[in-house]
Structure 1
């Protein structure tokens, strides 16, 4: 019995994977025991995604082996055998939005009658029974596109379990969830653990590792660095293992105060849009970093998207460096001097199959040529300058942006935002889904940009993003309810974001 308990549910040993000259994994490994939630952390490019692709049978290692329950992994061609052992819920959903929940759950596995027709009533009944078994409260008849991120994840987990898999990989599952949804996800993970499900949890949010995980494995530079119990592991030690140096995110940043007479680069007056936000007034001065904080539903994201022209307000005005762009006009905002980093680089920030050069320069066509013609040479020269300035790891500007790690993709988005030398830089959750070192680099670039005289507006619920700010405006239920100067304590910020301070 002891020997059976000692057998890992999943084990990768001595795994090496090369792509030409690039070594993605170098003799790395992981050992996951049944019933645990095991964290896999590391900087972008550490080898996490490559390991996941090997653990899910999408590719084979050049060297090393993978075992499930002590048995060798199936052949890559035997997809059914892989689905019975492991499934991955990716940060980018694999749900087909046009199909119903029931159709997504049993895609290509429809029950058919004697005439070969799909038995829709039977399908919906089976889907509802599956969701009930795993306590997922979703109507199987609704189109999956109507589900929020949280419920889509629960449906994907249920779909994985329907194949028989009891090992689920969660890839950045909290990147688009607010605090309440994260708590519900963690409750669901714990409940499924009690039912015999094992999780590999991949996240850049280190605090989540301490909240939900039993064990953590650290990869760095394609190698296995550390596997240890989360309990008793110091935060600084975890960061040091990930980065190879004793540095942390809590390092104090000292910024000179912005002069009171500095130019106002953003003036917001009486901005209102339905229930999203109401009667909002604030200013951002040249060289100042101002935060918009709040939980999901607070209106912070919608407010920032209004400033850059993605949304039109019902009332109020936005003035950028003395100009009033047409409400709801992104070109108008760009012309006024706005640079923008959107909240979702996958859907809003990048064209994956286009090159780094094309992605980084698409907002400045006037600098690439005349009469509508683009000079490839001029484009590549500008792109190389951006690559160097943002320390983007790539063999050249012609590489499709889809070939970059998450942190480097975000740097491309940042490069494009800075390409037109903006007077106002607006960023929405700019470090979501990036590793520790990329986060530090991006925030350092934001600070450097402000020091050069650009006004910065950061809309985020990430405390590390907000710590960079000279002051933070906190929104709750669409209204600014607090303004916190630099040096605030975490409990102050969290209380304001949750509306606790409103209790008289």
Structure 2
């Protein structure tokens, strides 16, 4: 009888998920992006979705927002089937996504952005600007967003723009919002204000799916967490009671127990010279990283690891001359290098493999020979001339050295496979026999054999008495390094010799282990007037524009 009496009560407290996906499989050609994936989020819940790169998070978001149709599986909102694919208005009324890269239009006002394409009640009616501003003011007030409707989006802080995007999503009636890396460009105070705002919206029944590389934020904000790994659902559990080690183990699939492969790596010994090839002292790039120091010895391959917004990519680009820090010093073989000057970096003996070979690394319509010799044109002929015969000979040697698969040196580089295109970029970086080669995510998008070859080539470069700095968040790129320095929120978090475990490195990159400055705020955002008076912009926060010169 007791069981019978309790059944109605149990049914009364049961909640229908604001969104529920089950059995979701999505393929792109031969690639399985999701395999039998699932997730369920309750009204008013802040639910975290975490996983390493390639785990399937982005594909799941595209399915939840109606951008992609799953091959198999079911999706429902508040117990009702998802709208028909392509019914944009219906999807907007159920789910919205605030992406890391802002989708509001900088040249328009807050009111115009809030009601873009909805400024008037009918398609042929004039816009009543006073009424539009009043609607915007009421919407902002309803959700506690302290921004003027007449303010230009371009004049707002990153944090304020996010609040506007959230308010716009809620204006369509959506009670489920996906936040994709929302804290990546915020400082510590901005994060706290964002979290306060999200908690207030939760009390109004709004549910959030929170995607972040910073696991400590998951513990601060979320009640449950779902882990994806290798396109599969691995775990959904309450955050409370779930240890950091268990969460990282679910993400990596690796236990902290001793591993014979790790032990073998730990026993590896390299011949490292006593003279530093690279010395970085006190570098500060406002809004990106603060007071960083780093040394790379002759004979070393050093990894510089970090998740999104850690600052590791920008630090590598700074070493290569692409950004001019506000403070600090950089030296190669004891000689100071002028900062923010690409020719000076080249002259000092720094080679560079940029992150994006298509946008920064190659001139696609030019030949393999021309691309591979861009940094050594002074060696290809007298008095500034370039002799075709010397270009061909020089390129032929590099093609053999890097095992570049190409019909001949005159073949357009665009005709090569991705792995061979990347070899051309590496060939150019090594053409000058630099003292230090800086490689940013050097194996991104290449096959396994090319990956092994490229990493081995950096090793051989270091063993010739030089050095290599591998900047990456891919664990396979970092396994061949003699030591790995991890960054988090613009500061050095920890350093590991060869033999680290996936669990150790991921924990440090996600800011939940090994942090030397756990209470330090991340670097101030120079666009935020509430921060310190940082007004000088000496770098492009969206990345370099001069990578093709290396």
User: Do the structures match in fold with TM over 0.5?
Assistant: yes
1:103 is the counterpart of 2:109? no
What are the superposed Cα offsets for residues 145-177 of structure 1, whole Å, 9 maximum, x if unpaired?
333332222221111111110100111222222
Other-structure match for 1:174: 183
Number of residue pairs matched by the alignment: 437
1:71–1:246 CA distance, 2 compared to 1 (3 A): same
Residue 22 to residue 216, structure 1, CA distance change in 2 (3 Å)? same
Counterpart-to-counterpart distance in 1, 2:196 and 2:422 = 45
Of 466, 490, 495 in structure 2, the residue corresponding to residue 468 of structure 1 is 495
Deviation at 1:87, TM superposition (A): 0.4
- 1:68-106: per-residue Cα shift (whole Å, max 9, x none)? 111111111211111010001112222222322222221
What secondary structure sits across from 2:190 in the alignment?
helix
Check the 8 A contact 2:188/2:521 in 1, yes or no: no
CA distance in 1, matches of 2:179, 2:251: 19
Structure 2: how far apart are the matches of 1:114 and 1:50? 35
The one of 269, 275, 279 aligned to 1:266: 279
Q: 1:494 is matched with which residue?
A: 518
Q: Do 1:427 and 1:458's aligned partners in 2 also have CA atoms closer than 8 Å?
A: no
Paired residue secondary structure (2:36): strand
The Cα offsets for residues 389-441 of structure 1, whole Å up to 9 and x where unpaired, read as: 9664556999xxxxxxxxx9xx9xx99xx79969677788x54xxxxxx3x44
Relative to structure 1, is the Cα distance of residues 48 and 303 closer, same or farther in structure 2, using a 3 angstrom cutoff? closer
Q: How far apart in 2 are the matches of 1:244 and 1:32? A: 24
Give the structure 2 partner of residue 473 of structure 1.
Answer: none
1:302-346 alpha-carbon deviations (Å, 9 max, x no partner): 98876543455789865434555555323432443346699xxxx
In 2, distance between residues paired with 1:72 and 1:247? Answer: 42
Q: 2:76 aligns with which of 67, 76, 83?
A: 67
**Cα distance in structure 1, aligned partners of 2:174 and 2:302:** 47
Is the alpha carbon distance of 1:123 and 1:308 closer, same or farther for their aligned partners in structure 2, counting shifts above 3 Å?
Answer: farther
Per the alignment, in what secondary structure is the counterpart of residue 201 of structure 2? Answer: helix
Structure 1 SS opposite 2:495: coil
Distance 1:291-1:460 versus aligned 2 partners, 3 A rule: farther
**Residue 26 of structure 1 is aligned with which of 11, 14, 35?**
35
Provide the residue aligned with 2:342 in structure 1. 330
Question: Which blocks of at least 5 consecutive residues in structure 2 are unaligned?
Answer: 1-8, 377-387, 396-409, 427-438, 498-512, 524-550
Instruction: Pick from 326, 332, 338 the counterpart of residue 320 of structure 1.
Output: 332
Q: Distance in 1 between matches of 2:490 and 2:291?
A: 24
1:350 is aligned, of 344, 350, 356, to 356
Structure 2 equivalent of residue 121 of structure 1: 130
Q: How does 1:3-152 map to 2 (within 5 A)?
A: 5-111=14-120, 116-152=125-161
CA contact (8 A) 1:364 1:419 kept: no
- Choose the corresponding residue for 2:374, options 366, 384, 389: 366
RMSD: 5.1
Provide the rounded CA distance (Å) in 1 between the counterparts of 2:304 and 2:59. Answer: 35
Q: Distance in 1 between matches of 2:304 and 2:448?
A: 34
1:405 aligned residue? none
Q: Which residues in structure 2 correspond to 1:396-435 (within 5 Å)?
A: 431=473
Distance 1:45 1:306, change over 3 A: closer
Contact 2:303 2:485 in 1 (8 A): yes
**Structure 2 CA distance, aligned partners of 1:275 and 1:53?**
30
Q: 1:279, CA displacement in angstroms?
A: 11
Comparing 197-206 with 141-150, greater Cα deviation is found at 141-150
Q: What's the secondary structure of 2:14's corresponding residue?
A: helix
Report the TM-score when normalising by structure 2: 0.63
C-alpha distance in structure 1 between counterparts of 2:171 and 2:188, whole Å: 28
- C-alpha separation between the residues in 1 aligned to 2:152 and 2:449? 40
- SS of the aligned residue for 1:164 comes to coil
Change (3 A) 1:339 1:420: farther
TM-score by length of 1: 0.68
- 2:202 alignment counterpart: 193
Moved more, 279-288 or 55-64: 279-288
> How far did 1:39 drift?
1.4
8 A contact 1:87–1:165 mirrored in 2: yes
Q: Is the 8 A contact 2:227 2:234 kept in 1?
A: yes
1:302-317 aligned at under 5 Å gives the runs 308-312=320-324
Confirm or deny: 8 A CA contact 2:169 2:177 kept in the other structure. Answer: yes
User: How many Å separate the matches in 1 of 2:196 and 2:172?
Assistant: 23
Counterparts of 2:23 and 2:53 in 1: how far apart (Å)? Answer: 21
Match of 1:453 in 2: none
Give the conservation status (yes or no) of the 8 Å contact 1:289–1:468: no
Contact 1:308–1:333 at 8 Å: present in 2 too?
yes
Distance 2:226 2:106 in 1: 34
Does the Cα contact within 8 Å between 1:320 and 1:424 map onto a contact in 2?
no
Flag the 1:199–1:341 CA change in 2: closer, same or farther, 3 A: farther
- Is the 8 Å Cα contact of residues 16 and 63 (structure 1) preserved in structure 2? yes
SS of residue in 2 equivalent to 1:43:
coil
Distance (whole Å) between structure 1 residues aligned to residue 82 and residue 303 of structure 2: 51
Q: Structure 1 residues 150, 425: CA separation in 2 closer, same or farther (over 3 Å shift)?
A: farther
**Per-residue CA shift, 1:216-241, capped at 9, x if unaligned?**
22222222222221211122222222
| Residue 383 of structure 1: aligned partner | 422
